[in-house]
Structures are given as structure tokens and as C-alpha cells.
Chain A
Amino acid sequence: MSTISKIQEEIIDEFSLFDDWMGRYEYLIELGKSLPLIDEQYKTEENIIKGCQSRVWLHAENDGQKVIYTADSDAILTKGLIALMIRVLSHHTPEEIVKADMDFVDKIGLKEHLSPTRANGLLSMIKQMKYYALAMQAK
């Protein structure tokens, strides 16, 4: 399994193939469509991330060493963003996740989604994913 920063490099490479926003967004939509389904039992009210205009459900599990995330959203662009986040952070140890620097979002031309005013709450997603890792680390 690659390191978090290595996966981020791969994603930056993939996005560098597109020279305009349309290409990047179409790719994001494609990623959203390919996001593995979350188990229905985890699409609960308490797994909803607050602060998103679209609904985002996030579930985290621990296989003993690594954190595995699954998620879903009712908006496809949001789903694409969370698919990226899962690809970067899932299957890593809580320690790696907690200290991960997520600045690759800026480098793939999706910086506007990191703005705190942005209603999709990408920041909330990252915060919640790290929060789960932190909670598992503490156990």
C-alpha cells in the first residue's frame, strides 16, 4: 500500500491531464459514480456530516491496524470529492491519517472547495475523517 503522500502525487498526476475545469469536474463525477456503496445500515442520521448542503454519510471501521472509510452523498460532485478523500486516507493507520497534509486539493484545481464558506463542507469531511482516526488512535 502506497503512502498517503504517494497517493496524492498520483491524483495530482491524473488531474494534470485536464487543462480546463470541465475535464476536472467530469473526472470528479466519474470518481463519484465509482465510489463503492456504503452499507445501507450506516446511512444513519448520526453518520451525516454537518455543514454540507448535500447530505454526506461517513462510516469508519478499524481492521485492527488500519482505518477503512465508506461514504455516500446525494450530490454527485460531493460524492466525487469524498471518493478522493477516501482514496487518500482509507487503509492507513490512524497515526498516518491524523498527520496527513491534504493540500493536494489545491494542486488539482479544486481549491475553491476548501473554502469554509463552501456549502459542500469538504473541510468538514476531512475534519470528520481525522476525528474518527484520532478516536481510534486513542483506544
Chain B
Amino acid sequence: MVSDNALLHIEKIREDFPILHQKINGQPLVYLDNAASTQKPRLVLDAITDYYQTINSNIHRGVHLLSQKATDAYELSREKVRAHLNAEKAHEIIFTRGVTESINLVASSLGKGLIKKGDEILISALEHHSNIVPWQFLCAQSGAILKVIPMNEKGELLLEAYRSLLSDKTKFVAINHVSNALGTVNPVKEMIAQAHDVGAWVLIDGAQSVPHMPVDVQALDADFYTFSAHKIYGPTGIGALYGKEHLLELLPPYQGGGEMISTVTFEESTYAGLPHKFEAGTPNIEAGVVLGTAIDYVHALGLENIAAYEQELLRYAHQKMSAFEGMEFYGTAQHKASVISFNLKGIHPYDVGVILDKLGIAVRTGHHCAQPIMDFYNIPGTIRASFAFYNTKEEVEILLKGLAKARAMLS
């Protein structure tokens, strides 16, 4: 019944995810909102309980055994993140609350003297609000200028326009690897190299790439790269920021508090070394530890296998949906992750979302925290179906049946 792939045994994988086996409004759940958040395998759920039942304590300072065990587990997870991104050193991995905090950290720290009036910061037309607003803060505070790399109708960035925006005034470029709203995969390696040619640093928002494809920060030569755990089958409230060692050394601390200091007097404080300089206060220890478990799970399946299967699902869904009357796609880039953004002709996306929910199908409707993209297409929003490796071709069929029902009711 359930579609299988040569590399992944999908039916067996689905058994790892307890939440998928429930009914929503009396119908079996079809979860197609993976770009917003992914579900958690039992391994991850067990690791959360296990942490609290066996090693819960505060990290890095205690001399007692539990504190050492918790510290070891937390630092082992950092090492797993390092390996996952192929960073050179574990202390180049900073634990944050997620991509939003990572970007705020970098923007805020750059604002402490590293970005000056008249400097230029480039973002793209494809960004999530979390990769727009922190840079607006920085520009307002420093007098720097925010410029936007435009895109074409297919949702692809215009690389020629990008090259002409780059100049010796460009100090920073912040773009996503994969667009959350349209699924476009951006040619970040090429874009990073071009930014480096003018001496700019580059941050890549990897929220939508890290769960779906192998990422090598050294091969990309990214200066900063960030992702959120909850989108890679891990817990909410934790994520990671990779930064090149010498750049992280250069950046002033983000927040002050415990953990991040070396010595404190009332006159002045000196800061701890990397990564602790950027990790003020007791972190989300359990989530940090369990992020490592989620990475283990994904690696056991194999990122190459995941990418191949999700691409197969994407092709299948796109082909089936193309034949659906009234289908309007948004984002038809040549390189795409498993995200399909669309509308049904003449029908508001919200109405479709409500009917699909009644049928047990979870999609996202609205602007996907990327209002400028909706403005570009002059639409109030889209319906977005985003696939993970536990989704099946059968679920694509259920989505299509749901859309047919929604169209019949709403038009």
C-alpha cells in the first residue's frame, strides 16, 4: 500500500513516528506541513525522557557526576552537529534557540562596531521574515543600507543582478539555502564565492536545507550557517549557528550572563572562549542533547537517500498536481526542495486549508512568513504542501482527492 523506495523502507520508517498514526477530524492524518515543523521519531521522544530520568543537571560547572554526564552528552551533541555540517572544529558550533536567534545573534553582534554607516547588506527577495527583520534592525541602528537581490517569476534569484549589487561597500550577504515559501534551492556556493571576491561575509539560513540534503560548510566556504532542530526531527527551542573560528573570535558577545564569562568584577568582565562566549545562561540542555539523537536518526537513514526519495515525491506530486484543473503553482525553479506552493484558481487559500483540515490533511496556508514573496506575485498567500521522508505517494493522492473536494465545495 504505502509507496516504497529502493533505498528507504517507508512503511517501516512511519512506524518510528507515533504521531502519524492518529485520526484528525475522523480521518487518518496526512501531515504535509514539514517545512513548518517536522514530526519526531520515537528515538527522539525516548531520548527526551531518558535525559530527565538519568542525567538531568546543569552543565559545565558542576563537579558532581550527573553534571559531568550532562555536560558530556551536550558536548557530544555539539560534535554531532559539527560532523553533520562538516565544520572543522566543534567550538565553531554555537547552540542557539534556532535560526531566528542565530541570525539575531550575528546581526546584533555585527552592530557592535563591525558594520558602519554607508556599508551595504544584501538579502534576497526569497527570505523569511527572520532573515529580513534582524538586518533592518542592524541598518536602522548603524546607518547601513539593506539591498535586495531580486528574483524572477519562477522564484529563482537573478544572479546577474546579484553580481551588480556586489561592491566594495557590501559587507554582508544573508540568504537562505532553500526558500521556505517556494522551495527554491539557491546556488549558495557560487554566491558565497562572489561575495568573498568583494570581501563580504556570508550567512546562510539553512532551516530548509539541513533536514533535506547533505550540507558541507567547508565545501560551501560559508562564513556562517544556521539551522533549527525542530525542522530536522528534533525538539523545538534549539538550533545551531556555525561560524568560522576567526569570525566568531572577532564578533563581540551577543548576550551577557553566566557561562559566557571568564572573570567578572563590578568594573569589568572578560569573556569565555568559543563556543561559550555566545552561550549565556543555562541553555536548553535536554533539547541540545536530543538534537544529537535526531541527527543520528537522520544519518541512519542516510541524507543522500532522504534527498533522493523526497525528490521522487516532489516529482510525483508536481506531475499529478499539474494535471489538476485550476492549479496555479508559485515557485517553479529548476532546483527545488520538496515544497509545493500553489493556489486553486479563484479560491482563497484559507478556504482550501480549512476544508483540507476537515479531511485530516495538514498543509500551511498564508504568507509563510515571507510577505514580500506574496507581494511579488500579488496574492494574499498560497497553500503549501511540504514533504518529508515519511510521506508517501498515497498521501499525495489523498491530497489531490482533498483538493478536488475543496474545489467542488468552494467554487
Contacts and interface: CB of A to CB of B under 8 A. Distances in A.
Contacts of A55: 380
A21 interface: yes
A29 B409 CA distance: 8
A77 B365 contact: no
Contacts of B409: 22, 25-26, 29
Contact of B380 (A54, A76, A120): A54
B348 A76 contact: yes
Interface of A: 21-22, 25-26, 29, 53-55, 74-78, 119-120
Given A25-B409, A77-B351, A53 B358 contact: no
A119 B355 contact: no
A29 B380 CA distance: 20
B161 interface: no
B2 interface: no
B148 interface: no
Contacts of A29: 409-410
A119 B410 contact: no
B350 interface: yes
A25 B358 contact: yes
Given A26-B409, A53-B366, A54-B348, A77 B380 contact: no
Contacts, number: 40
Given A25-B355, A74-B380, A119-B366, A53 B410 contact: no
- Which of B348, B358, B381, B410: most chain A Cβ within 10 A? B348
Contact of B350 (A22, A25, A75): A75
A54 B25 contact: no
A77 B354 contact: yes
Given A25-B358, A53-B381, A55-B380, A74 B348 contact: yes
B163 to A, nearest CB: 38
B358 A75 contact: no
Contacts of B366: 53, 119
15 contacts: A21-B358, A25-B409, A26-B409, A29-B410, A53-B350, A53-B381, A54-B348, A55-B380, A75-B348, A76-B351, A77-B354, A78-B350, A119-B365, A119-B366, A120-B350
Query: Could you say which interface size class chain B belongs to?
Result: 10 to 19
A120 B350 CA distance: 8
Contacts of B381: 53
Interface string B365-393: 11000000000000011000000000000
Given A21-B25, A119-B366, 12 more contacts: A25-B358, A29-B409, A29-B410, A53-B366, A54-B348, A74-B348, A75-B348, A75-B350, A77-B351, A78-B348, A78-B351, A120-B354
A30 to B, nearest CB: 10
A76 B410 contact: yes
A118 to B, nearest CB: 9
Contacts of B350: 53-54, 75, 77-78, 119-120
Nearest to A78: B350
B375 to A, nearest CB: 14
B119 to A, nearest CB: 35
A76 B380 CA distance: 14
**Which 9 residue pairs are nearest across A and B when measured between Cβ atoms?**
A75-B348, A75-B350, A54-B350, A53-B350, A77-B351, A75-B351, A53-B366, A21-B358, A76-B351
Contacts of A25: 354-355, 358, 409
- Between B25, B354, B355, B366, the greatest number of chain A beta carbons within 10 A of the residue's beta carbon is seen for B354
A48 to B, nearest CB: 12
A25 B366 CA distance: 20
Nearest to A77: B351
A97 to B, nearest CB: 27
Nearest to A113: B354
A120 B358 CA distance: 15
B350 to A, nearest CB: 4
A77 B348 CA distance: 9
Contacts of A54: 348, 350-351, 380
B106 to A, nearest CB: 31
B355 A53 contact: no
Nearest to A73: B348
Nearest to B405: A22
A52 to B, nearest CB: 9
Contacts of B348: 54, 74-76, 78
Contacts of A53: 350, 365-366, 381
A55 B355 CA distance: 18
Contacts of A119: 350, 365-366
A26 B355 CA distance: 10
